[in-house]
Structure 1
Amino acid sequence: MDNVNLNAFTENAARLGMRIQETFSEHTRDLSITRGGASIFDMPDDKVKNIGKQLDSNSDREKLDAMKRLIALISKGRNVSNYFPQVVKNVASQNLEIRKLVYIYLLRYAEHEPDLALLSINTFQKDLADSSPLIRAMALRVLSGIKVPMICGLVVLAIKKCAADFSPYVRKAAALAIPKAFQLDAGQQPALISVITTLLRDRSPLSIGSAVVAFESVCPTRLDLLHLQYRRLCKILIDVDEWGQVYLLNLLLRYARTMLPKPTVLQQGESTEEEIDADLQLLLVSSEPLVQSKNPAVVLAVVRVFYYAGPPSSTSKVVNPLLRIMHISREVERVVLAYLLIITRAQPQLFSMQYQRFLVRTDDPSQAKRDKIKVMLNLCDVDNHQALLREFIDCADDVDDTVVGDAVHAVGRCAASHSVMHGMSPIRRILSSTKQMSDIVVSNAVLVLKALIQNQLLVDSSAPVSSQSPLSIIFHLARRVDDIKHPQARACVLWLVGQYSAAPGASTVIEGVADWAPDVLRKISKSFNTEGSLVKLQALTLAAKLFLLCPTDQRLGLLCGYVLSLGRYDLNYDVRDRTRMLNALLVGISPTMNGREMEEQSSVILRREQVIKVLFDGKAGIIEENEETFGLHHIPIGSLSLVTGKATLGDSVLPEWLEGGIDPLLRQSEEDVLPVALPPQAISSASSTAAKTLGSAGVTPIVLTPTGSSTPVREAKESHRDLEKFYASGSDKKSSDSESSPEEESEDNLEEGDSAHDSEESQDDTADDESSEEQEHEVTDGSSTKVQQ
């Protein structure tokens, strides 16, 4: 017996060992395929030739390996459409992994082989009724991805079927298939809109985001479809998937600005009061928790809602979330800075205390540096302008010329806005940059200097001539005019020299003219033919201004006449027109300036004071804001154009606010109508048992209430002092009873019969109780006698 058990145990152990070995070999083979993913991409040509044989094989492992190699070849850009017939045969494979790869292949090449793709449609339609929701969703995804217009009707029917599926995952796939069907045939829009309306009423938040994507693709202007769903969509906003929240927030923002009244701010003395619609408040309250999302796109969508739909006080809630996500990655930082350029320009007080978060780092990308400079410039105020000015000056030493140019402009705007011209430290720093930097940087520095000097001289026209005065800076630029090569910068220097070259009352070589001004004109006259048109125009204006200051000086007159004669025969039309205009202005001062006699002039002749008024006065010193430099402020936040700086196709347009909004009753659904609570009814103990027995039959018990006094009045007992009065009262009652009506007598008889019946039953019950007690007594007596025996 022991030998038999030992043999059986040995056989079972051998079988178990073989089973374990086979299972281990199967797993290791799959592991080798998984780890050898790199070999799939670097396969030799002989393995490519074996793909067809593997697809026709009966082994699922071979088919799976072949499909992996086909997908790898597709990812490398190889054309593998010649395997289409063999792949289609495996569309009904029982292996889920093979079927997934087959579906990917069909999505790639179904458009190139529409006839062969139609062969697999029956399989997809069968899969729409599969028990697995994953298979149903995949079948609809592939069926809608086959870009064959002749099957658009079948696709729409499949979408309608899956939109009513009990699985939310399948309904989500149906929503994502709607835009594909709309691209195949735009005539299916009415049918697709009805499906979208059904999906928007879905209770599961899993499919709401995809339904919103379908809505934006098929009917983005049909906001009336959202009336009954608006409040419910706001309430389930927090449960929608992350990317669905982005699309849903943008849709609700468009609905709010189109259908809801704009929030207003009322000024009541020193305090302000905000009026906001209840439905708009619901949107803001529902979206506020989403600022804690890990997805930066969701946070930016919430910021867009609060900025464009909320009252001004609600924008402060997005400050910390924006600063939190700004340092997630460089890509996110780039987008957040684009948002901040708009927000800080409109409400700089929100971030004025956080300016240190925008300081430029050396490892920042060039565009990020430029955006940070612009943001800090928007935040510049009385409290932080000194620190920001030092930061801008440090940024002027950057290796990137574009960053330096923006920094120089920022220095000029900061200095001009907050009156930091005293000390001229920004000016000295900008002047030092002209020695070794590029022409673009020098041009920006000269432009800023021009504006700063204009503003300072307009404020204080009697500025002393010192090493830091504006006139000394102009003298410094005039001496180095040969070192400045950029045409726009040279033109700015010539304009400054001509505008501020007057020196009344000073001991100069030429009376009324600064000593360095004629020398600048002499240098420019030598290179007049090689200068740009901007420099030539300013050179002609400089010559006219110097001649107006001292028309009696012969040398200055000859130099100015020479420059005007060069402009008279220049190739540029603008230069020749400027020359003719200046000759017409100067004809009253020097009749021979333009080479004609006074008698030949038929135009109006101006006096010297009038010409000085024309050429010198009316030059306001301002710094013009360049949209290209300081951002595209007309583009709303949330658009790609704001980030790229160029207009892109497909950017959403933010609608304007409606005057008073639509009737809020249109948004009232059945869920918003609360059931009316019924008043509580008094329940008596007598009717409670009747209600239990009659409740199943649906009969309502009747409770009788007295119509007279609320409390029953008992008759007073008569007091009898002797027997004669007692018997007398009894005879009176009998006589009164005999005089009662027959109906009362019948009622009394019935009551007496009931009471008699009740008394008989009570007597029977009493007799039964007495007999049972006697029997128990006899039993106890019998048992006691047995115990005694």
Structure 2
Amino acid sequence: MASGDGKYFATTKKGEIHEFKEDLRALDRSKKKEAVKKVIAAMTVGKDVSMLFPDVVNCMQTDDLELKKLVYLYLINYAKTQPDLAIMAVNTFVKDSQDPNPLIRALAVRTMGCIRVDKITEYLCDPLQRCLKDDDPYVRKTAAVCVAKLYDINPELVEDRGFLDALKDLLADSNPMVVANAVAALAEIHEVGGSAAFHITSTSLFKLLRALNECTEWGQVFILDSLAGYTARDAKDAESIVERVTPRLQHANCAVVLSAVKVILKQMAAIGDEALNKALMKKMAPPLVTLLSGEPEIQYVALRNISLIVQQYPQILSHEVKVFFCKYNDPIYVKMEKLEIMIALASDRNVDQVLLEFKEYATEVDVDFVRKAVRAIGRCAVSLERAAERCINVLLELIQTKVAYVVQEAVVVIKDIFRRYPNRYESVIATLCECLDTLDEPEARAAMVWVIGEYAERIDNADELLEGFLESFPEEPAAVQLQLVTAAVKLFLKKPQPRAQQMIQLVLTYATQETDNPDLRDRAFIYWRLLSTDPEAARAVVLSEKPVIADTATALEPSLLSTLLANLSTLASVYHKPPEAFVSRTRLAVQRADELAPAAFEDDSGTPSSSSAGGGGAGAGAGPAAPAAGAPGPGAPAAGGAPAPPSGADLLGDLLELDSPAPAPAHAHAPAHSANGSMGLDLLGGLGGLDLGGPPAPVPGPPPQAQPAPPAFADPFAAPAPAPFASSAPPAAAPLPVLLPADKGKGLALSGQLARANGGPVFRLAFSNSSAGALDGFMIQFNRNSFGLAPAAQAVPLGPLPPGGSATVDVPLAQNAALLAPGPATALLQVAVRSNQLGVAYFNAAADLGALLLEGGALEPAAFVPAWKALPDGAEAADSLPATLGAWPQASAKLAAANVFTMAHKAVPGSREEVAYLTARAATLPAPTQLLLELRWAAGAPGVRAAVRSERSDFAPMVFAALRGILGG
């Protein structure tokens, strides 16, 4: 629309749809054009004008280019919701693709490519083939991009009709923009399809280099990005590429400069000539510095890319460290990035300048920036041994300022310097001890405690200093408590005096008896065991020589750094993450419909679907296949009312987007239900609309109970004391149920079940690889279920699994109300597991209610009977358990270990029967469910009569199943 067309957006009249229809049918061309503009304006502000589709389509037959563009814009927006009516426009599209005006020809092909309707793509092929060979370069370059759009809709059609070959022919086109668009389209197809759609040869290389000098800036970016993936045949080939690309370093567009740098860095490895490489590095420095003269946002992107470059090639900017000095008006995000680069470029030659800058930054008003500057001084000391003393002096000067947060950061970094250079700078300990009263942050207090414990033999009043911390031991953060336990042990080992012995008794007693922190408790038990059995072994362990630390705060793994350097000037280089970590493709390879193996699951009633229950189909890719005539769509009930299994395409598409959830298709917004109310089988399809950006809410429950107290520590070093973990060895673990046999999982076998560990539910999975290659990249997801269970993290904590290898991992689970399946509760869990090599496998598992029983499920005995009577008789269910109970204390202990707590136990008068009343609490949503249980049995006789009452009677079968597992019946 023209600049004066803003009046069309002020349309709030009633009955305007009827007015639009009348105007669209008018014979007056100007009136019709005005009506189309009003319709487009209404569409732009979000009004639904789809009912005008036929009337707008009738306006396509016009010679007015502006009107035609407006109608095409409307078609692109509404064709997907009106596919049958969109066919009406096909004849006009085909006719326009042969119009004498090249702008209209290009517009027709572009619009047909943007209309993502399968029915229209069939008619697009012939016009597209003509336009790829059109005489006008504008039409050809538009058609080249259209091929990539068509590939995204129907890749098989593109391959069958020879469009890929036509695109490759365009690489030799005489027009550089056509070449650039052909490169962009082939690169997109190559990335989406995962096939070798685009491979630069020596012939095409010359053509691309020739077009590089003549096309537009974004065309140059496309060509340079493609050249970055080319591996030179020899040094001469690499030198030729660099020679043609180097002039692009002077370009005004930042994207062109960074892409050119990416190409040069790639070819430097093939050149091998050290003198030439140094010359190239010298040429790259000024363009990179020039990038920092733009807007703050551009500076930030440039700095993130430069940060990667200096990690691999610090010599490129080793003489330009002053360029990265922070300006007073730089935004904080720019200052932080400059600091990182200054640390990377700091050397013995320029460290004095850098330290002066850091010292200046430490006096600014931005607290976060000041903290980062102080840490930067410490990192320079760790990485530059010759400059360590100068860094220490600067830190001592900053401590003299008495600014609390500066002092505390200085203490933290000095601790790291002590770790890097042991027994060298202990003279500053006295200064640190003077600042003890000003330390109130956990990290600084923990660092100071470490210093006191590490150098206890050199600090005369070390015991007094530690006692000052011990006075507030229960209120200290966990990090400080952990350091206090270790420091107290070090003090005793270095100064075995009565005062130190009393101190360590106090610390270990509290840490083992009065804390619920498992890390603190475990560390205290380990020290207790060492000290009480072999003090010399304790001395060898605790006072052993520590490994020298290095500055790895921002260092990236070499493989990750290589990947990011190959993706310079993309989002990956800004996020410092590989592309696959934040970009998902729903189609990774062209796949035929008959290659998709639908997964087999049981429905809630336990009836298996079309193939054996528990089997899994693992598709390697997803190309949406149209259902056969009369066949139900995804999630729709199949014949007989049973839910149909989801198609492999839908399942795989959703699973592949676990990292970056995309909006689900319309059919996946709610789970389908069968006639009996059971949930449909659209595995993962119902997750599309959820916010999976973070882990689900944790399962509620109290902290883990403390372990039994260790023996008295009156004189622990005179004679060995009993080990604090003097419990009997656990019985051998029962084999896990098989969930996915190897023949169904393409060589991957899975066994597993729900369990409880560390106060929460976990999914214990045993992986076994019988395939020919290593497997990695494991991810897991659950379908909606009766407990809202889902993995707390979608990545399985399992490294590469070699051929013949096996491993067992615990996948922590959490609960999310958004994943709660409606209807009666069932034990069915539908699970999908993905690996990089085998794709996705689907299987069923049983949700063991025993894994969801909370530690705090006990009920006061006085409240048990009123709670039992308050529930109606309909809330009670009974069953017989094939278990034999021996003495009740042993059975009660076994139940309590499974979080089922005894309220009362008695013998029934006049019989051999005994009865016990118990309580448990299950982690259910939206709130935990209290379970009241009654067990009746005859002493020594098989069989237990169990009854359960709760507000959720549908849980009763799972309660009895859990009792069978606990009691062994």
**Structure 1 residues 446 and 251 mapped into 2: Cα distance closer, same or farther (>3 Å)?**
same
Q: Which of 205, 212, 217 is equivalent to 1:230?
A: 205
**Structure 1 residues 423 and 119 mapped into 2: Cα distance closer, same or farther (>3 Å)?**
closer
5 Å-filtered alignment, 1:340-489, equals: 340-416=306-382, 417=384, 418-422=386-390, 424-431=392-399, 435-437=403-405, 444-459=409-424, 469-477=427-435, 479-480=436-437, 483-489=438-444
Q: Does 1:324 align with 2:276?
A: no
Give the superposition deviation at 1:453.
3.5
Give the corresponding residue for 1:501.
456
Distance in 2, matches of 1:346 and 1:156, equals 47
TM-score by length of 1: 0.67
**Structure 1 residues 651 and 328 mapped into 2: Cα distance closer, same or farther (>3 Å)?**
same
Give the superposition deviation at 1:87.
0.9
Q: Which of 528, 532, 552 is equivalent to 1:583?
A: 528
Question: 1:377 aligns to what SS in structure 2?
Answer: helix
Quote the RMSD (CA, aligned, Å). Answer: 2.8
Identical columns (%): 28
Verify the 8 A CA contact 1:452 1:621 in the aligned structure 2.
Answer: no
The amino acid across from 2:213 in the alignment is I
For each residue in 1:527-563, what CA deviation from the matched residue of structure 2 results, as whole angstroms up to 9, or x when unmatched? 2222233222221222222222332x33333222222
Q: Which of 206, 211, 215 is equivalent to 2:182?
A: 211
Q: Which of 498, 502, 506 is equivalent to 1:554?
A: 498
Give the corresponding residue for 2:487.
542
Q: Which of 169, 174, 199 is equivalent to 1:198?
A: 169
Give the corresponding residue for 2:214.
239
Q: Does 1:625 align with 2:552?
A: yes
Give the superposition deviation at 1:367.
1.6
Distance in 1, matches of 2:156 and 2:315, equals 52
In the TM superposition, structure 1's runs of 4+ consecutive aligned residues that sit over 6 Å from their partners are 628-632, 650-653
For each residue in 1:348-377, what CA deviation from the matched residue of structure 2 results, as whole angstroms up to 9, or x when unmatched? 333233222211123222221111011111
Verify the 8 A CA contact 2:381 2:392 in the aligned structure 1.
Answer: no
The amino acid across from 1:626 in the alignment is A
For each residue in 1:255-313, what CA deviation from the matched residue of structure 2 results, as whole angstroms up to 9, or x when unmatched? 2x2x624xxxxxxxxxxxxxx22x32222122122222222111111011111223433
Distance in 2, matches of 1:219 and 1:212, equals 10
Q: Does 1:284 align with 2:242?
A: yes
**Structure 1 residues 80 and 119 mapped into 2: Cα distance closer, same or farther (>3 Å)?**
same
**Structure 1 residues 559 and 459 mapped into 2: Cα distance closer, same or farther (>3 Å)?**
closer
Verify the 8 A CA contact 1:197 1:225 in the aligned structure 2.
Answer: no
Give the superposition deviation at 1:254.
0.8
Give the superposition deviation at 1:320.
1.2
For each residue in 1:6-55, what CA deviation from the matched residue of structure 2 results, as whole angstroms up to 9, or x when unmatched? xxxxxxxxxxxxxxxxxxxxxxxxxxx95643322223426945333332
Question: 1:51 aligns to what SS in structure 2?
Answer: helix
Distance in 1, matches of 2:243 and 2:111, equals 40
Give the superposition deviation at 1:619.
2.5
**Structure 1 residues 395 and 75 mapped into 2: Cα distance closer, same or farther (>3 Å)?**
farther
Q: Which of 70, 75, 81 is equivalent to 2:44?
A: 75
Give the corresponding residue for 1:773.
none
The amino acid across from 1:240 in the alignment is C
Give the corresponding residue for 2:791.
none
**Structure 1 residues 325 and 474 mapped into 2: Cα distance closer, same or farther (>3 Å)?**
closer
Distance in 2, matches of 1:225 and 1:650, equals 27
Q: Which of 466, 469, 477 is equivalent to 1:521?
A: 466
Question: 2:59 aligns to what SS in structure 1?
Answer: coil
**Structure 1 residues 54 and 343 mapped into 2: Cα distance closer, same or farther (>3 Å)?**
same
Distance in 1, matches of 2:259 and 2:371, equals 33
Question: 1:459 aligns to what SS in structure 2?
Answer: coil
Give the superposition deviation at 1:66.
2.3
**Structure 1 residues 380 and 35 mapped into 2: Cα distance closer, same or farther (>3 Å)?**
closer
For each residue in 1:325-352, what CA deviation from the matched residue of structure 2 results, as whole angstroms up to 9, or x when unmatched? 3222222211211121122223333323
Distance in 1, matches of 2:581 and 2:183, equals 17
Q: Which has the higher contact order (CA 8 A, sep 6+)?
A: 1
The amino acid across from 2:6 in the alignment is A
Give the superposition deviation at 1:614.
3.4
5 Å-filtered alignment, 1:695-734, equals: none
Give the superposition deviation at 1:114.
1.2
Give the superposition deviation at 1:575.
2.4
Q: Does 1:97 align with 2:66?
A: yes
**Structure 1 residues 432 and 74 mapped into 2: Cα distance closer, same or farther (>3 Å)?**
farther
Distance in 1, matches of 2:511 and 2:75, equals 73
Q: Which of 512, 525, 530 is equivalent to 1:568?
A: 512
Q: Does 1:39 align with 2:7?
A: yes
Give the superposition deviation at 1:444.
4.2
For each residue in 1:111-130, what CA deviation from the matched residue of structure 2 results, as whole angstroms up to 9, or x when unmatched? 11111111111011111111
Give the corresponding residue for 1:643.
574
Give the superposition deviation at 1:144.
1.8
For each residue in 1:50-72, what CA deviation from the matched residue of structure 2 results, as whole angstroms up to 9, or x when unmatched? 33333222333222322222222
Give the superposition deviation at 1:475.
1.8
Give the superposition deviation at 1:423.
8.5
**Structure 1 residues 584 and 206 mapped into 2: Cα distance closer, same or farther (>3 Å)?**
closer
Larger mean Cα displacement after TM superposition, 618-627 or 406-415: 618-627
**Structure 1 residues 396 and 423 mapped into 2: Cα distance closer, same or farther (>3 Å)?**
closer
Give the superposition deviation at 1:102.
0.9
Distance in 1, matches of 2:420 and 2:142, equals 64
For each residue in 1:454-486, what CA deviation from the matched residue of structure 2 results, as whole angstroms up to 9, or x when unmatched? 4455336xx6xxxxx322233224x32xx4333
Distance in 2, matches of 1:420 and 1:524, equals 30
Distance in 2, matches of 1:70 and 1:367, equals 44
Verify the 8 A CA contact 2:245 2:260 in the aligned structure 1.
Answer: yes
Give the superposition deviation at 1:613.
4.4
Distance in 2, matches of 1:292 and 1:647, equals 28
Verify the 8 A CA contact 1:156 1:181 in the aligned structure 2.
Answer: no
Question: 1:627 aligns to what SS in structure 2?
Answer: coil
Verify the 8 A CA contact 2:362 2:374 in the aligned structure 1.
Answer: yes
Verify the 8 A CA contact 2:358 2:374 in the aligned structure 1.
Answer: yes
Verify the 8 A CA contact 2:512 2:525 in the aligned structure 1.
Answer: yes
**Structure 1 residues 134 and 434 mapped into 2: Cα distance closer, same or farther (>3 Å)?**
farther
The amino acid across from 1:514 in the alignment is D
Question: 2:46 aligns to what SS in structure 1?
Answer: coil
**Structure 1 residues 629 and 526 mapped into 2: Cα distance closer, same or farther (>3 Å)?**
farther
Higher helix share: 1
Q: How many corresponding residue pairs?
A: 562
5 Å-filtered alignment, 1:144-293, equals: 144-190=113-159, 191-220=162-191, 221-224=196-199, 226-255=201-230, 257=231, 260-261=233-234, 276-277=235-236, 279-293=237-251
Verify the 8 A CA contact 2:572 2:579 in the aligned structure 1.
Answer: yes
Higher strand share: 2
Larger mean Cα displacement after TM superposition, 632-641 or 117-126: 632-641
Question: 2:174 aligns to what SS in structure 1?
Answer: coil
**Structure 1 residues 332 and 247 mapped into 2: Cα distance closer, same or farther (>3 Å)?**
same
**Structure 1 residues 612 and 34 mapped into 2: Cα distance closer, same or farther (>3 Å)?**
closer
Distance in 2, matches of 1:79 and 1:615, equals 72
Verify the 8 A CA contact 1:238 1:287 in the aligned structure 2.
Answer: no
**Structure 1 residues 91 and 409 mapped into 2: Cα distance closer, same or farther (>3 Å)?**
same
Larger mean Cα displacement after TM superposition, 150-159 or 572-581: 572-581
Distance in 2, matches of 1:524 and 1:420, equals 30
